[in-house]
Amino acid sequence: MTKTFRMDEAQPRLLDETGQGIVGAPLDRPEGPKKVSGRAHYAADGLPEGAAHGVLVRATISRGRITGIDESSVSGLGGVIGVFHGPEFLRNPAQGMAGEAPVQPGDEVHYHGQPIALVVAESFEAARDAAQRLVVSYEAEEGVETDPASASALEQDDPETAGDFDAAFAASEVTLDRSYATAPQVAAAMEPHAAVAEWEGDSLTLRGALQMLRFNKDELADSLGIPAEKVRILAPYVGGGFGSKLGIGPEAVAAALAARALGRPVRVVMTRQTVFDAVLRRSETSQRLRLGADRDGRLRALSHDDRVSNIEGEGFAEPVSQASQFLYGADGLSFAQTLARVSRTPAGSVRAPGEAVGMLALEQAMDELAEALEMCPVELRLKNLPEKNPMTGQPFSATRLADCLREGADRFGWADRKPMGSRREGEWFVGMGMASAARSNMLVKSAARVRLGADGAVVETDMTDIGTGTYAILGQIAAEMLGLRVEQVEVRLGDTSFPGASGSGGSFGANSAGSATFLAAKAIRETLAGRMGCSLSELTLQDGIARGGNREMPLSELVEEELVEEASVEAGDTSESHFSSGFGAHFAEVAVHAYTGEVRVRRMLGVMAMGRILNEKTARSQALGGMIWGLGAALTEEMAHDPRTGHVVTRDLANYHVPAHADVPGDMTVVFLEERDDMANPIQTKGIGELGISGAGAAILNAVRNACGARVYDMPATPDRVIAAMEAAGS
Amino acid sequence: MRDFEYSRAETLSGAAGQMGEGASVIAGGTNLLDLMKIQVMTPSRLVDISRIGELQGISEDGDGLRIGALVTNSELAADGRIRSGWPLLSRAILAGASAQIRNKATTGGNLLQRTRCPYFYDTAMACNKRSPGEGCAAQEGVGRMLAIFGTSEHCLAAHPSDMAVALAALRAEVEIRSKEGETRCLPVTELYRLPGDRPDLESVLEPGEIITAVRLPAPLADTRQVYKKVRDRASYAFALVSVAAVLEMEGDRIASASLAFGGVAPRPWTDPEAEQALVGAAPGDEAFGKAADVLIEQAHCHPDTEFKKPLLRRTLIAALREATGLAKPATGASTARIPA
Ligand SMILES: Cc1cc2nc3c(=O)[nH]c(=O)nc-3n(C[C@H](O)[C@H](O)[C@H](O)COP(=O)(O)OP(=O)(O)OC[C@H]3O[C@@H](n4cnc5c(N)ncnc54)[C@H](O)[C@@H]3O)c2cc1C
Ligand code: SF4
C-alpha cells in the first residue's frame, strides 16, 4: 500500500534530529567507480544478442511533403536490412512531462533536420552509409518562414501585470530602456540520445537516454498506440540531460518500430549532428527591459518583454521573464511575451528554462540602473528585495537573498572594485561584476519504495540519475532515516517497474524523489517504533542500532522479515500559500584584452541558499556546472541557423562552443548558506541544478563592463562583439 | 563511410606504387576519417603511410631542420631545438586542436587538412569545393569562419591550420616526392592554390605526390617571435584570426618583419607590403596600425566576416606590441635563442 502525502503545511525537520548524521555530508557518489571504469552501462552500451543497428535520416527541406523514399537506393548495399518510416515517427522529442506522444507528422516535413526515416543494417557502419545515401524526394513549400526576427506568425498573450507599469514608469526619476538578445543554445549532453528496443511478444523493453521515465513510458506507449502496461523503460545511467532528454524522442520510437517489424532488437544512437538537428533547442530571445526608479534606488517600475520562437504545434515558449516576476518588487510590473512560429528545430526546456537567459538581461539592466544611479549594484539589489512575490502576493517560504548578497560581497572583496575602466594589467582591463540568482522551486508527484532487511536497505524508484548525484542523495536519505551506513543502502533507479517518480527536470528531482524516499523510510521508522514499543519521536536509529523507550536493539533482530514501504508525495496547499525559490548571488572577475576583445574569467563566486543540502559535494558540482553554463551563455555558446533554410549550421562540438577547460577559471568558489524551506517539501530542500546558471552570466558581463566599458547587448560576448562595444564606449 | 580498400606502405616507393586513381594517403587520420564518416571524402583506397621510416623524425639540415612528414604535432611542439630556435612554431601548434588530437596529427596531414566551412561538412548543401559547379551555400549562409583574402566568387573558405601560418612566417619549405621518386621543394605558401573556379583543388600536389618533410631555414638570432590566435573560446577552437610575427630589431627600429595570417585566407596569408610598411619604423600603435591598414585594405568580406577587419587589425597590433616589447609578452611570445 502506497502512503500518499500532500504537502499542505510545514513539516517538522526530522532530518535535523535523526542520529546517523550523514545527510548533507560530502560523500562520493556510490556509482562513481563504475562510471570511470566503464561498468556503468548507458543506454547504448549494452547490445542484446542479435541486435540490428539503426541510423536516422533527416529531412533536407524546411517544410513540405515527402513524396517518396526510394528504398532501392540502399537495398543492394551489403548488410542493409531495411528502411523504416511511417505515421508513428516523431517530429521531435516530447516536451517535459507531456505524458503523450509529441507531433507525429506522417509524410509532412516541418523543419530541415527532422528525422524522417530509419535505416537498419547489420552493423552501425553499414546503416550510417546507407542513411547517407538514401534517396528521398520532396515537394517543398515555398516562402517558408525560418527566421524568428521576421516571422509573421506571431502569438501574443496579454501582458501579465501588477499595478500600473506605464504610470509608474512615467513617474520614475530615473529610467532605463534596453534591449538584449541571446543566441539559441543547445544542451550538448555528453551522451548522445540513444535507444535499444527489444520486444517480447507484445511487450516492449526500451533502454533509453531519458530523464523522466514515468512520463516517457506513457509517451512511448501513446506514440506506438499500445497500452502503457506493455512498456518498460530502463535508464539506470544517463550521460547528462539538461532538459534534452525530458521527453521520449524520435530515436526511441524508431527503434521500437523497427524492432517490432524485424522481430529482433534494434539499437539507434543519434549522431552528434542529429542531436543538434533534432533535439529540442533553447530558443533565441530578444528582450526589452524597462526599469524606473527613484533617485535613491527604489524600483518604481519594472517591465520585461520578450520574443522567442518555436515550431508550430509546440506549446512551449521559453519563460524568459520568470525570475523578473518575483525577484524585485516595484509599484508597476508588466511582462509580455511574443512567440514567433518558425520552421526550425523545435524549442523546449534546456537547463533553467527562463532564468538562464532572462536573468542575463534582467541582471545586466539592474547593473545599468545602478550605474545610472551612481549606486553600488549590491546596494541597489538589497534595496529592492520584496517581502512577498510581487506578482502573486505570496510570502516567500524561505529567502536568504540579502545574506547571499552581503556574504558574497564580503568574501569576494567587492569593496576593492574599481571605477569602470580604471584597472589595467598590461594589455588587459580587469573588472568585477555581480548579479543576483533566482530559480523557482517545485515539488512534483513522486513515489519510492524502501525495503529494510536485516543487514541493509534498498531504495527503488524510477527516478533517474543524469549525472547529478541521485544515487548518492537517495542513499543518504534512506541511511539517515534508518540508521544505516550509506554502504548498507542500495539505490535502484531508472526502471519503470519501480514506483514512478518526478524524474530529473526543473531541479525538482531531489525534492520530489528525495521526499518520497524519506516518507517511505519514515513509514518504516513507524513500524520500528511500534516494535520497540516507543513513540516515533523517542526512536533513534544509528549504526544499525535502534534505541527508544529505554531499550536498545540491533536492527538485524528487529527486522526478521523484510519491511517494505512505498510512499508518494505531491504538492499541496503550501505551493499556493507560499512561493518557493532558490536564491543566491554571483560574483565574477574578468580580464578583457584591450586589443583583441578576448574575455578571460579570472574567478567566480556563487553564494547560494538552496534549502537543505543533501550532499555537499554533489550539490557543489551542480552549482559549479551551472556557473560554467552561465559562462558559456555569456561568452561562447551560440547555435547558428542558416538564414534561408533555418537548419542548424553549428552541428558539432567543434562549432558549438561549450566552454573548454581553459575558459573556466581555477578559482571557482561555491558557498552554501544554511537554510531550511519548511513549506517546500518534507525534507526542506530546494532545487539545486539550475540556480548556478541563473544570473552567473550576467555577473560576468557586468564585470566586462566594469573592466573596459563595453556593454554587449547581443550575447554571447565573443571577441568581435566586445571590440564593437569597446569602440562604441570609446575605450 | 563508403567502403574502401586499405593498404599499408612500408617505404616511400611502396606508397607510390599503391597510389592510384581515387586513392588517398592517410597519416594521423584526424581529419580524413572525420570527413570520410560523413562522406565528404570518399576515397576508394587508403594508403597508410604512418609506418614509413623515411618520413619520421626531425634531423639537422645545415643550420636548419628537416621535419619528417609523420612527425606528430605534439612531438614537434615539444622538440627542444624547435622551442629554442623557432618558438613560434611550438606556440602555433599548441594553440591548435587538443592534446589528444595533436598526439595523432602529423606535420604533413596538418598542412593538408581541409577547411572547416560548415557547408563543406554538410552534404545536403551546395559546395563547390566538394562538387565543383554545384554552387556555394556559404555565400548567403552563415559565414563566421570564412576567409577575407584570396577568395573567389566560387569559394570563400579559409584554411584552418595554425602550424602552417607559423611555417609561412618562418619561411619554411615543403619537400615533396613525386610518384616517380623525384623530390622538389616549395615555400609553404606556394603549396596551396587559391580557389579560383576550382576550389576543389587545394594544393599544387600532383596525383601520387606525397609530402615528405618540412624544411626550416636557419633561425634568425634574436628575432622576436609571436603567435597570437583569437578564437571563440580560450582553447580548442579554430582561429577567427591569427597572426604569426617574426621581427628583427636594429636598435629601437624594426629591421625586418615576417608576418603570416591565419583564419583569413585559403592559405596562410602573407602580405609583403604590410611587412615593408614596418621596416625602419619605430615601434608604436601608429606604425603598427599603418601596416595593418595596408593589409586590411585587400580584404573582401562576407557580411558575417566584416568583424575580421577590425579584429585582424587589432590582433596584428597586439602581436607587434608583444614582439617589440611594448607589451609584456603573453603566452605565445618568445625570443628565439640561438645556441652559439
Ligand atoms: C576537433 C578538432 C579541432 C582541431 N583544431 C585545430 C586547430 O585549432 N588548429 C589546427 O591547426 N588544427 C586543428 N585541428 C586539425 C588537426 O590539426 C588536423 O586534423 C591534423 O593536423 C591532420 O593531421 P593528420 O595526420 O591526422 O591528417 P590526416 O587526417 O591523416 O590527413 C589529412 C589530409 O592530408 C593528407 N595527407 C596526410 N599526410 C600526407 C602526406 N605526407 N603527403 C600528402 N598528403 C598527406 C591526407 O590524404 C588527407 O587528405 C583540429 C581537428 C579537430 C578534429
Ligand atoms: S565557401 Fe567553399 S567550402 Fe564553403 S560552401 Fe562555399 S565552396 Fe564550399
Q: Sorting pLDDT into bands at 50, 70 and 90, what band is B220?
A: confident
Q: Residue holding cell 519594472?
A: A302
Q: Sorting pLDDT into bands at 50, 70 and 90, what band is B330?
A: low
**How high is the pLDDT of residue B336?**
59
Contact in structure between B162 and B92 (CB atoms under 8 Å): yes
* Minimal Cβ distance to B234: which of A600, A644, A649: A600
Which tens digits make up the pLDDT trace of A229-279? 999 999 999 999 999 999 999 999 999 999 999 999 999 999 999 999 999
Smallest Cα–Cα separation from B201: which of B148, B267, B137?
A: B267
- Is B142 in contact with A724 (Cβ distance < 8 A)? no
Q: Which residues of B touch A (CB under 8 A)?
A: 1-3, 37-39, 116, 118-119, 121-124, 137, 140-142, 144, 228, 230, 232-238, 240, 307-308, 310-311, 314-315, 317-318, 321, 327-328, 330
Q: How far is CA A355 from the centre of its chain?
A: 11
Q: How many Å apart are CA A585 and CA A490, to the nearest integer? A: 36
Measured between CA atoms, the residue of chain A closest to residue B237 is A654
By alpha-carbon position, which residue is closest to atom 8 of ligand 2? B127
Rounded to 5 degrees, what are φ and ψ at A406? -70, -50
Q: How many Å apart are CA B121 and CA A59, to the nearest integer? A: 16
Q: Sorting pLDDT into bands at 50, 70 and 90, what band is A373?
A: very high
Q: Do the strands A2-7 and A563-571 form a parallel or antiparallel pair, or are they unpaired?
A: parallel
Amino acid letter at B312? Answer: L
B338 pLDDT more than 60: no
By alpha-carbon position, which residue is closest to atom 6 of ligand 2? B136
Q: Grid coordinates in use for B262?
A: 591565419
Contact in structure between A508 and A445 (CB atoms under 8 Å): no
Q: How many CB atoms lie within 10 A of CB A12?
A: 11
Three-class DSSP category at B57: coil
Asked if A728 is an interface residue toward chain B (Cβ–Cβ < 8 A), one would say no
Amino acid letter at B147? Answer: A
Which tens digits make up the pLDDT trace of A178-229? 999 999 999 999 999 999 999 999 999 999 999 999 999 999 999 999 999 9
**How high is the pLDDT of residue B296?**
98
User: Which residue is catalytic, options A141, A371, A690, A727?
Assistant: A690
Residues of chain A neighbouring B137 (CB-CB closer than 8 A): 642
Smallest Cα–Cα separation from A428: which of A699, A729, A726?
A: A726
Amino acid letter at A224? Answer: L
Smallest Cα–Cα separation from B259: which of B278, B240, B239, B234?
A: B278
Counting ligands in written order, which one lies closest to the CA of residue B75?
A: 1
- CATH class of this structure's domain A2-40+443-576: alpha beta
Amino acid letter at B154? Answer: H
Asked if A522 is an interface residue toward chain B (Cβ–Cβ < 8 A), one would say no
B170 pLDDT more than 90: yes
**How high is the pLDDT of residue A712?**
97
Q: How many Å apart are CA B335 and CA A568, to the nearest integer? A: 69
Let me know the angle formed at the C-alpha of B305 by B303 and B309, rounded to the nearest 5 degrees: 120
Counting ligands in written order, which one lies closest to the CA of residue B266?
A: 2
- Is B121 in contact with A651 (Cβ distance < 8 A)? yes
Contact in structure between A685 and A677 (CB atoms under 8 Å): yes
A287 pLDDT more than 90: yes
Measured between CA atoms, the residue of chain A closest to residue B98 is A660
CATH 3.30.365.10: which residues of chain A?
2-40+443-576, 52-143+187-278, 396-441+580-729
Q: What proportion of chain A, given as a percentage, has pLDDT over 70?
A: 100
Indicate the pTM of the whole model. Answer: 0.98
Counting ligands in written order, which one lies closest to the CA of residue B129?
A: 2
Contact in structure between A499 and A462 (CB atoms under 8 Å): yes
Look at phi and psi of residue B112 and say left if phi exceeds 0, alpha if psi is from -120 to 50, else beta. Answer: alpha
Q: How many Å apart are CA B298 and CA B307, to the nearest integer? A: 15
B339 pLDDT more than 50: no
Residues of chain B neighbouring A662 (CB-CB closer than 8 A): 233-236
* Number of the ligand 1 atom closest to the C-alpha atom of B104: 26
**How high is the pLDDT of residue B178?**
96
Of chain B, the end-to-end C-alpha distance in Å amounts to 53
- In short, whether B270's Cβ falls inside 6 Å of ligand 1 is no
**How high is the pLDDT of residue A323?**
98
Q: How many Å apart are CA A722 and CA A700, to the nearest integer? A: 13
Size of the A and B interface in Cβ pairs below 8 Å: 107
Q: Do the strands B210-216 and A285-293 form a parallel or antiparallel pair, or are they unpaired?
A: unpaired
Measured between CA atoms, the residue of chain A closest to residue B231 is A719
Centroid of ligand 2 to alpha carbon of B94 (angstroms): 27
Query: What average pLDDT score do residues A529-555 get?
Result: 95
Smallest Cα–Cα separation from A463: which of A490, A503, A428, A523?
A: A503
B329 pLDDT more than 90: no
Which tens digits make up the pLDDT trace of B42-57? 999 999 999 999 999 9
Q: How many CB atoms lie within 10 A of CB A676?
A: 18
A167 pLDDT more than 90: yes
The helix (run of H) or strand (run of E) holding residue A203 is strand A203-208
| A690 in active site | yes
By alpha-carbon position, which residue is closest to atom 7 of ligand 1? B96
Centroid of ligand 2 to alpha carbon of B127 (angstroms): 5
Which tens digits make up the pLDDT trace of A394-411? 999 999 999 999 999 999
Query: What average pLDDT score do residues A378-392 get?
Result: 97
* Minimal Cβ distance to A659: which of B137, B233, B307: B233
B340 pLDDT more than 50: no
ipTM value of the model? 0.96
Centroid of ligand 1 to alpha carbon of A193 (angstroms): 29
Q: Which residues have CB under 6 Å of ligand 2?
A: B 115, 117, 119-120, 127-129, 136-138, 155-157, 199
Q: Which of A58, A652, A655 to mutate to test the interface with B (most CBs of B within 10 A)?
A: A655
Choose which CATH entry (3.30.365.10, 3.40.50.150, 3.30.360.10, 3.30.540.10) describes domain A52-143+187-278: 3.30.365.10
- Is B144 in contact with A129 (Cβ distance < 8 A)? no
Q: Grid coordinates in use for A336?
A: 509580455
Query: What average pLDDT score do residues A460-475 get?
Result: 98
Rounded to 5 degrees, what are φ and ψ at B23? -90, 155
- Is B228 in contact with A596 (Cβ distance < 8 A)? yes
Three-class DSSP category at B121: coil
Q: How many Å apart are CA B82 and CA B84, to the nearest integer? A: 5
**How high is the pLDDT of residue A116?**
98
Q: Residue holding cell 533547442?
A: A281
Q: What proportion of chain B, given as a percentage, has pLDDT over 90?
A: 95
Let me know the angle formed at the C-alpha of B140 by B139 and B143, rounded to the nearest 5 degrees: 70
In Å, what is the CA distance from A371 to each residue of A164, A695, A702, B317?
25, 18, 11, 32
**How high is the pLDDT of residue A615?**
98
**How high is the pLDDT of residue A195?**
98
Asked if A185 is an interface residue toward chain B (Cβ–Cβ < 8 A), one would say no
Which tens digits make up the pLDDT trace of A585-639? 999 999 999 999 999 999 999 999 999 999 999 999 999 999 999 999 999 999 9
Q: Which residues pair with A205 in a beta bridge?
A: A198, A232
Choose which CATH entry (3.30.365.10, 1.20.200.10, 3.90.1300.10, 3.40.50.720) describes domain A396-441+580-729: 3.30.365.10
Asked if A214 is an interface residue toward chain B (Cβ–Cβ < 8 A), one would say no
Smallest Cα–Cα separation from A350: which of A582, A183, A186?
A: A186
Which tens digits make up the pLDDT trace of A332-369? 999 999 999 999 999 999 999 999 999 999 999 999 99
The CA distance from B253 to the nearest CA of chain A, in Å, is 22
Q: In what order do the strands lie in the sheet with A489-492?
A: A2-7, A563-571, A446-453, A456-460, A489-492
- In short, whether B162's Cβ falls inside 6 Å of ligand 1 is yes
Average pLDDT, chain B: 95
- Is A595 in contact with B122 (Cβ distance < 8 A)? no
Which tens digits make up the pLDDT trace of A90-116? 999 999 999 999 999 999 999 999 999
Q: Sorting pLDDT into bands at 50, 70 and 90, what band is B328?
A: confident
Query: What average pLDDT score do residues B35-40 get?
Result: 97
Mutate to test the pocket of ligand 1, among B19, B48, B100, B112 (most ligand atoms within 8 A of CB): B112
Query: What average pLDDT score do residues B223-228 get?
Result: 94
Average pLDDT, chain A: 97
What is the tally of helices (H) and strands (E) in chain B? 12, 12
**How high is the pLDDT of residue B332?**
46
Which tens digits make up the pLDDT trace of A573-582? 999 999 999 9
Q: How many Å apart are CA B193 and CA B205, to the nearest integer? A: 10
Let me know the angle formed at the C-alpha of A370 by A365 and A374, rounded to the nearest 5 degrees: 150
Q: How many Å apart are CA A618 and CA A504, to the nearest integer? A: 15
